[in-house]
Amino acid sequence: MCLTETVANTVYYRLRQVDASGEAAYSPVRTVQVPAVARAFKADVFPNPYQDVVTVRFTPAGTGAVTLTAHDMLGHILFTKTIAVGEGTQDIPLPQATVLQAGVYYLTVQQGNQQQVLKMSHQ
């Protein structure tokens, strides 16, 4: 479950542990408080996989700067782009991603202390 996609303010969970013998035990129920700002922050890439153009569709938690950072599978930074965003959903083209070789990459979208890591595939 992705906590940023939940509509609830409080999420309840518990863990199930299964021993090698097959016996199961449950942890106590725990709660996680999900602030409204975290639920508002959302990003996705399309099309995925991409060939020519890839776009980030981003719903910011508010106005301000958003930083997009692309990494390869080893964590090397390939490019960083910082833009100012307003309110509402926005489409951000990434022309820098078109020069990458075919493969799988990760794009970190960060605004303040909110961040989301997206997987993108270049064909």
Q: What is the mean pLDDT of the chain?
A: 87
* pLDDT range class, residue 13, cuts 50, 70, 90: confident
Are the CB atoms for 18 and 2 separated by under 8 Å? no
Better-predicted residue by pLDDT, 25 or 6? 25
Q: Minimum mean pLDDT among 7-16, 24-33, 62-71: which range?
A: 7-16
What fold does the segment set 40-122 form as a domain? Immunoglobulin-like (2.60.40)
Instruction: Give pTM, 2 decimals.
Output: 0.68
* pLDDT, average across residues 6-31: 88
pLDDT at 86: 86
Distances (CA, A) of 84 to 34, 64, 87: 25, 5, 10
pLDDT at 5: 56
Spatial separation of the C-alpha atoms in residues 97 and 4, rounded to whole Å: 26
* pLDDT range class, residue 115, cuts 50, 70, 90: confident
Are the CB atoms for 69 and 108 separated by under 8 Å? yes
Q: Could you tell me the residue ranges of all domains in the chain?
A: 1-34, 40-122
pLDDT at 64: 86
pLDDT tens-digit series, residues 41-55: 789 999 999 998 899
